[in-house]
Amino acid sequence: MQAVVLNKDESLEFVTPERCSILELSNDAGDPDLSVARARVAAGVTTAWHCLEGIAERYVILSGSGRVEVGGMDACVVTCGDVVRIPPGVRQRICNTGEGDLVFLALCTPRFRQECYRHLEA
């Protein structure tokens, strides 16, 4: 890995079929061990059940409030500053229970690759 500053470009944010908006902040072959994305879930929205094969993920909640479900765990309330650890291959989804956007960082190790994403809803 080489030293670099990656400036965010809001125009690159996109909406996923999972029902959230993603802005990739760092995800390239120059840093294969980690990717960082900002995720936004609108008020009242629950993302689709999904998992990442071979990739561990962490959510770092930046703003808003929600309820996260991971694997067979009971649903847990999350707010600013909370961290959610999601092992590879474990199903997950998050619901925005607040009135504004639920915003969090999604940190993936190794870096997120689309071919590792599994949609788990019919």
The span from the CA of 77 to the CA of 66, in Å, is 6
Q: Is 0.85 surpassed by the pTM of this model?
A: yes
Contact (CB, 8 A) for 88 and 56: yes
Mean pLDDT, rounded, of the chain: 97
18 falls within a domain:
no
Residue 70 has a pLDDT of 98
Residue 10 lies inside a defined structural domain of this protein:
no
CA dihedral 84→23→56→58, nearest 10 degrees, is -20
| CATH at 109 | 2.60.120.10
Confidence of residue 5 (pLDDT cuts 50, 70, 90): very high
pLDDT of residue 89: 98
113 has pLDDT over 90: yes
Phi, psi of 10 (to 5 degrees): -55, -25
Domain tally, the chain: 1
